[in-house]
Amino acid sequence: MTRVLREIMLVSAKDLRIEARSRQTLGLVAVLGVLIVVVLGLGLGPQQVKSGMAATAVLWVAYLFGGVLCFEKTMAVERHDGALAGLMLAPIDRGVIYAGKLISNLALMLALALIVTPVAVVMFGFDLSAAPLGFVAIMAGGFVGFAAIGTLFAAAVSSTQSQGGLLAVVVFPVSLPLVIVSTQMMMRLFGEGEPLGAVGLTVLIAFDAVYLVVSWLVFELILEP
């Protein structure tokens, strides 16, 4: 187990080192995320802007589109110069590659959230202090499930000829149940002031578990050098 964890961290650390050096992905998704928040904030007008609901919805849009870009970019690193074949040749389980990529994607999405969320707080006057832990719990649950699916489909789409935009088309419908559950929980938490229920969180965790297990199992089958 320790060996597998070490291998996962190796793959993930390599991705993050490449990102730290090139800053291609984070720069791009940060600009996209901020643009989405600002443009939608301006477009919704002052009435909507003061609603916490609008803020969470807009944040989700920014996270989803930014996330898809993260998934594409981290897999594109492997496609350059056939690096993925080098990983596939190595004496490691294919699941290690999946888990390493998933952690890299989660780290990038977390960085995106740290940049975009304060912008939404300022832009929408969104009162995060009402339930900061609830916000973090819902977002974490949503991120894990979304990244689990996104990492899987990014690998599948990257081996096809039609990459541009295809990932979003595939990932958004599959992750829709997760997004609906997350936004419903946000509505109750920030719109109606209800506390975060155990049922909602359990459903979110169940979604995450299903997506993670299925993705881990399927990843080997869809991976092509």
Partner 1 sequence: MIAITAESVTPLTDAEITTATPAVRMRGLSKRYDERWVLRDITLDVPTGSYLALLGANGAGKSTLLHTLAMLSPATRGELSLFGESAARPSPALRARLGMIGHQPMLYRDLSAIENLVFFGKLYDVSRPKQRAMDMLERVGLADRALSVVKTFSRGMVQRLSIARALMHAPELLLADEPFSGLDVPSVQAVSALLAELHADGKTVILTNHDVRQSLELAQRVVVLGRGRVVSDRRAQDANADEVTREVIG
Q: Which residues bind partner 1 (CB under 8 A)?
A: 7, 10, 14, 17-18, 21-22, 77, 80-83, 85-93, 224-225
Shorter beta-carbon distance to partner 1: residue 84 or 111 = 84
Shorter beta-carbon distance to partner 1: residue 165 or 225 = 225
Scan for tokens 């643009």, then name that residue. 35
CB neighbours of residue 62 within 10 Å:
27
The Cα–Cα gap between 218 and 52 comes to 38
**Alpha-carbon Rg of the chain, whole angstroms?**
18
Shorter beta-carbon distance to partner 1: residue 127 or 220 = 220
The least distance separating partner 1 from the CB of residue 53, rounded to whole angstroms, comes to 41
Tokens read off for 152 = 């899987």
CB neighbours of residue 136 within 10 Å:
12
Tokens read off for 221 = 């089958």
The least distance separating partner 1 from the CB of residue 3, rounded to whole angstroms, comes to 8
The least distance separating partner 1 from the CB of residue 7, rounded to whole angstroms, comes to 7
Dihedral sign computed on CA atoms, order 143, 28, 102, 2 = negative
Shorter beta-carbon distance to partner 1: residue 160 or 202 = 160
Shorter beta-carbon distance to partner 1: residue 19 or 208 = 19
The least distance separating partner 1 from the CB of residue 88, rounded to whole angstroms, comes to 6
Pair 109, 141: CB distance under 8 Å: no
The least distance separating partner 1 from the CB of residue 190, rounded to whole angstroms, comes to 40
Shorter beta-carbon distance to partner 1: residue 14 or 188 = 14
The least distance separating partner 1 from the CB of residue 32, rounded to whole angstroms, comes to 21
The Cα–Cα gap between 32 and 100 comes to 25
For residue 159, what is the DSSP state? T
- Amino acid, res. 7: E
For the stretch 160-167, contacts whose Cβ atoms lie closer than 8 Å and that sit 24 or more positions apart, written own/partner, are 163/72, 167/68, 167/71, 167/72
